[in-house]
Amino acid sequence: MTAACYLLSALRQRTRDTRGAHQLRCSRLHDAYASLRSPDFRRILFSYATATVAREAQIVVVGWQVYARTGDPLTLGLIGLAEALPFIGVALYAGHLADRATRRTIALAGTFGILLSAIALLLFTLGDYTAIWPIYVVIFLSGIARSFTRPAVTALSAEVIDRDIYPNAVAWRSSTWQFAAILGPALGGLAYGLIGPAGAYACVSALLVVSLLFIAAVTHRLMPVFDNAIPMSESLRAGIKFIMADPVMLGAMTLDLFAVLFGGAVALLPAFAKMLSAGPEGLGMLRAAPAIGSILIGLWIAHRPPMRRAGVTLFVVVAIFGLLMISFALSRNFWLSFGILIASGMADNVSVIIRGTLLQTRTPSDMLGRVSSVNQIFIGASNEIGAFESGVAARLLGVVPSVIFGGTMTLIVVGWMAMRFPVLRKLKTLSS
């Protein structure tokens, strides 16, 4: 009898311990600041933020500088193409390397390469050259550096926190990017207007130095575990095979690829700023507007429980994004255009958080670099190749009709993808 009582008491205690562990895990999942409690994760966020401010400011300065010299929207598209080609071309090897070497070291080297490209743009501007081809060369080289930095930083940020708080980390990282993307364009536009392009590039270089210092302060130096027997060719294909075998991730990435490829109007903002008589300062505001919306919705999501109808939400927000792009093309009022871009940023960031969370929760840690690099190809193709597509379409159709066409194509893509990927449409939670 005594033994039976002891066994019953032990079972009750184990049940209480299990329930307590489950409650603790749930409280962590709903802790809005769970990932921020990691010092290394905070350092990575600060580095990510300053690098993003620098990049977004540089985009505004380069765009205005090139468009002011040429007046041709196609030259804006060529900027995106110059960055996309190397960015996509070496992405698979960059992911392979991120799963084979210390990710902190790769992030340091990549950030340093981006810093050198900013210094090169400064020297080019100080030299007062009239040709614009050197700008394309520098952007091409910076694309190579970025292709190595992105998968390394993505994998590194996942290494320094527990897996059960990945959704919270993705929300904060996305919000940090968006906050930086608000400050960056505003800084770039104001700096260009007040101290000229050379001064603006000097500010960009200083910010990248700060980013470099933050990533150097990260104490985590774990070498990824990998199988030396796997040939490089097979390792390079592993990320592609993993995504192709997962219809949820494949559908989410494909939807984002075509939606941004057709629907984005960011590359043409210098043309719209001139159309709205806004100047470089106004261009900075328009460039920052989507990020304002993104950070608002990102902070709201970070304080909310996990999504329960993630698949339907993804399709709805992408459709809203397409409608907003059509509205933006038709607007002739600066503040209305500004508000529409804020709303578009809110819709876009919901899809970014869903896709980013799926990537981290459904991917094994030892494959994060390679899978992130494939995701990087999708992002690079949609953003940079999308910028080139926007420039070509604007040259052929005109600036306004090209954006209307892109928004309409986004709506068509949403409908087609909803039928093509029913598993994604029926997805409930983002947990693996």
What pLDDT, on a 0 to 100 scale, did the predictor assign at position 104?
Answer: 85
pLDDT at 187: 84
Share of the chain above pLDDT 70, in %: 81
In this predicted model, which residue has the larger pLDDT, 141 or 89?
141
pLDDT tens digits along 267-295? 778 888 888 887 777 887 887 788 788 77
pLDDT band for position 83 (cuts 50, 70, 90): confident
The predicted structure's pLDDT at residue 115:
92
Predicted confidence (pLDDT) per residue in 359-398, tens digit = 777 777 667 667 777 777 666 556 666 666 677 777 778 8
Contact status, residue 325 vs residue 352, Cβ threshold 8 Å: no
Q: What is the mean pLDDT of residues 296-322?
A: 79
Residues 6+ apart with CB under 8 A from 417: 251, 254, 255, 258, 315, 424
Q: Say if residues 31 and 161 touch (Cβ distance below 8 Å).
A: no
Structure tokens at 17: 């311990």
Give the amino acid at 74: L
Give the Cα separation of 316 and 369 in Å (integer): 30
pTM of the predicted structure, to 2 decimals: 0.63
Q: Do residues 43 and 213 lie in contact, with contact meaning Cβ atoms separated by under 8 Å?
A: no
pLDDT attached to residue 336: 92
**Mean pLDDT of all residues in 102-129:** 87
Task: Determine the Cα–Cα distance for residues 292 and 344; give it in Å rounded to an integer.
Answer: 10
Q: Which has more confidence, 211 or 238? A: 211
DSSP category for residue 278 = -
Supply the mean pLDDT for the chain: 77
State residue 222's pLDDT score: 65
> How high is the pLDDT of residue 382?
61
Residue type, position 258, single letter: F
Q: Would you place residue 23 in the very low, low, confident or very high pLDDT band (cuts 50, 70, 90)?
A: very low
Separation between Cα atoms, residue 57 and residue 208, nearest integer Å: 11
Question: What was the pLDDT predicted at 21?
Answer: 46
Q: Which range among 201-215, 233-247, 248-262 has the greatest average pLDDT?
A: 201-215
| pLDDT tens-digit map of 116-135 | 999 999 998 887 777 788 88
State percent of the chain over pLDDT 90. 6
Element (DSSP H or E) covering residue 43: helix 39-70
For 129-158, how does the pLDDT look when each residue is reduced to its tens digit (9 = 90+)? 777 888 888 888 888 888 888 878 877 877
pLDDT, position 139:
87
Least confident of 156-160, 219-223, 226-230, 239-243: 226-230
In this predicted structure, what is the pLDDT of residue 430?
A: 64
Residue 334 has pLDDT above 80, yes or no: yes
Q: How confident is the model at residue 68 (pLDDT cuts 50, 70, 90)?
A: confident
> What domains can be seen in the chain, in order of their start residue?
37-219+231-425 (1.20.1250.20)
Check residues 429 and 341 and name the one with the higher pLDDT: 341
Residues across the chain: 432
The CA radius of gyration of the chain, in Å to the nearest whole number, is 23
What does the pLDDT average to over 83-93?
75
Helix, strand, coil share (%) of the chain residues, nearest 5: 85, 0, 15
Confidence of residue 27 (pLDDT cuts 50, 70, 90): very low
- Phi/psi at 51 (nearest 5 deg)? -65, -35
Tens of pLDDT along 185-227?
778 888 888 888 889 999 999 999 999 999 988 887 666 655 5
More confident: 309 or 432: 309
Task: Output the pLDDT for position 72.
Answer: 76
Average pLDDT of the segment spanning 256-262: 73
Please, which residues have CB within 8 angstroms of residue 178's CB and are 6 or more apart in sequence? 291, 292, 294, 295, 298, 345, 349
